[in-house]
Amino acid sequence: MNQAKYQRVLLKLSGEALMGDGNYGIHPETLGYVAREVKSAVDLGVEMAVVVGGGNIFRGMAGSSQGMDRASADYLGMLATVMNSLALQEALEKIDIPTRVLSAISMHQVAEPYIRRRAVRHLEKKRVVIFAAGTGNPYFTTDTAAVLRAAEIHAEVLLKATKVDGVYDMDPVGNTTAKFIQDIDYMTVLEKRLHVMDSTAISLAMDNHLLLVVFNLRESGNIRNAICGQAVGTKICEPRK
């Protein structure tokens, strides 16, 4: 199946997705792989937006747990997302995908300011739009920023790329009895405290009826297959009636 089911999508990437098997920073080969996976989706003709985290460089929660003021730590994390966004932009444009970085924190020398209408216009022109610096506010994760931006641009689906195949009833790392969940509703995720996204992000997705698809980024073709409506990963949506 090579026909896109969704026409406007937002892809959420963790900063760790760019590390490869390393412990820090950006792995060039992994960055190139991610760029090619995004290109395979763009080639379907969809409008693609991306939010990338900064955990491969600095994570705000980690900084605050070591005594740093939470707001200051979160701002450092936002700057890390800008670095990742610029790296991804460079990788995409090397393979002829026009890309724009829009930052929630003003830094005109390297990125455009985030303006919703400008973002939508870029998407309509088939440019990949990378939303950097989270929401621009401390105390909010990049998962929440991804849901917020998806709602603002009226994305039909938010694709959350992870290191595992989807949602499990417990952490599959080290738990051989963990069971894969193919479909689940927002409220169940909240009630069972499944750590797919933080509760603010899930609640915001639920309030805006935003479909979430959680899948393994390391499986080549998963982004494209998810956009084509194939059974990839876990769907988080409204409960079935």
The tens digit of pLDDT for each residue in 27-78 reads 999 999 999 999 999 999 999 999 999 999 998 777 777 889 999 999 999 9
Confirm or deny that 99 is annotated as ligand binding: no
**What per-residue confidence (pLDDT) applies to 70?**
93
Least confident range from 22-26, 59-63, 203-207, 219-223: namely: 59-63
Residue 2 resides in a domain:
no
Asked if residue 1 is part of any domain, the answer here is no
> Could you write out the DSSP letters of every residue in 127-184?
-EEEEESTTSSTT--HHHHHHHHHHHTT-SEEEEEESSSSEESS--TT-TT--EESEE
Asked whether residue 35 is domain-assigned, the answer is yes
Encoded tokens for 72: 């200051």
Per the listing, tokens 């060039």 go with 28
- The answer, yes or no, to whether residue 239 has pLDDT greater than 90, is no
pLDDT value of position 172: 82
- Look at residue 32 and give its three-state secondary structure: helix
Other Cβ atoms within 10 Å of 202 Cβ, number = 22
- Confirm whether 189 is domain-assigned: yes
| 241 among annotated binding-site residues | no
* Over residues 159-184, mean pLDDT: 90
Count: domains in the chain: 1
Known binder of ligand: residue 85? no
Q: Is residue 104 part of a domain?
A: yes
**pLDDT at site 64:** 73
Asked whether residue 3 is domain-assigned, the answer is no
- Rounded to whole angstroms, the Cα distance separating 145 from 49 reads 12
Q: Mean of the pLDDT values across residues 199-222?
A: 97
Query: What would the mean pLDDT of 79-104 be, rounded to a whole number?
Result: 98
30 known member of a binding site = no
pLDDT value at position 1? 54
53 annotated as a binding-site residue: no
The pTM (predicted TM-score) of the whole model is 0.94
Q: Which domain holds residue 80?
A: 8-237
CATH number of the domain at 150, please.
Answer: 3.40.1160.10
Give the C-alpha separation, 225 to 124, whole Å.
22
53 lies in some domain: yes
Residue 24 annotated as lining a ligand binding site: no
**168 annotated as ligand-binding:** yes
75 within a domain of the structure (yes/no) = yes
pLDDT tens figures, 136-153: 999 999 999 999 999 999
Q: Which is higher by pLDDT, 241 or 218?
A: 218
The pLDDT, as a whole number, for residue 60 is: 75
59 has binding-site annotation: yes
- 3-state DSSP: the chain helix, strand, coil percent, rounded to 5? 40, 20, 45
